Amino acid sequence: MEQINTEDIIHANVHYDNNGYKSNGKGISAAVADFHVYAVDWDEKAIRFLLDGNQYHQVNIENSINGTEEFHHEHFIILNYAMGGNWPGFVVNENELPSAIEIDYVRVYQKKSTTDIFTESLIPNEISISQAYPNPFNPATNLNIYLPQSESLSITVYNTLGQIVNLQSNLILNQGNNVVPINGSKWNSGMYFIVVQTKTQIFMRKIHLIK
């Protein structure tokens, strides 16, 4: 996944050597200043790129087609914030510094067998709550809630005065990934706090509504 300067475009690219440099990529529009869930499903047949759970690019690597033999070996993950280069250019605008990249979490799954990735359940072994996306938002945002097993929980939204503006109690979510919408169409602009409470844990996420 690559993003250049302030462009609201997320690029999905694979780079490899097939008797000379090769690249296969595609871009998708996205508000890059917001939190998103970036994902790659990679198996022996294809590399699939997803943004917030929606696939937007796929590269066929089955049987090492078109010199893609490299993608059948072990790899490692790099998360980096590069200054300059062939694509954005080698001149860095010092007036835009300092700058930062914010990462909420990194999660890696591995299949137990060679069965197709879409028929095997890849379930996390602990509860995880993502940052809301989009954020800032208007009028709705979403939470990704990962559960190792089906569970009942509550989601409460507070304003900065500590008043409850939204409550979802005894909400039963499924094992795996759940996308829970939060609608702020009746709220005033400002900062709000989402509190997710399970049987054993409490999570809080901050959101900003701009109308």
Place of tokens 């070996």: 73
Tell me the one-letter amino acid at 37: V
pTM, full prediction: 0.54
Q: Please give the pLDDT value at position 118.
A: 47
Q: For residues 55-94, b (16+ Cβ closer than 10 Å) or e, as one string?
A: ebbbbebeeeeeebeebeeeeeeeeeeeeeeeeeeeeeee
Place of tokens 């990249």: 101
User: What are the structural domain ranges in the chain?
Assistant: 9-96, 128-209
* Domain boundaries 128-209, corresponding CATH code: 2.60.40.1930
Q: Please give the pLDDT value at position 112.
A: 63
Task: Please list the ranges in the chain whose pLDDT falls under 70.
Answer: 112-125
